[in-house]
Amino acid sequence: MEYRPKETPVLIGRQITREDESITITTLEKLHSDDVDMFTLVSVGNSESRHIINGNKEWVYTPRGYSKKL
């Protein structure tokens, strides 16, 4: 959290492609080292990433391109 805001979306993918796969969406502020082990993929969003909820579906969206750099 030294370089990213605490609200930055974070994806935690555990046991990806296995029967007990799980994907959790959280924030940088709520991410704890206990949530991560050798079977975990952690993806931290950037300044344009958004946590989107639509009914019972949710995901993290990061637009492509460099709109803020223009």
Q: Are 24 and 11 in contact (CB under 8 A)?
A: yes
| Alpha-carbon distances, residue 25 vs 13, 51, 58, 67, 68 (angstroms) | 9, 8, 8, 25, 25
Domain ranges of the chain: 9-58
Whole-number Å distance between alpha carbons of 46 and 24: 17
Q: What is the pTM of this model?
A: 0.82
Per-residue pLDDT 10s for the chain (70 aa) are 789 999 999 999 999 999 999 999 999 999 999 999 999 999 999 989 999 999 999 999 998 876 666 5
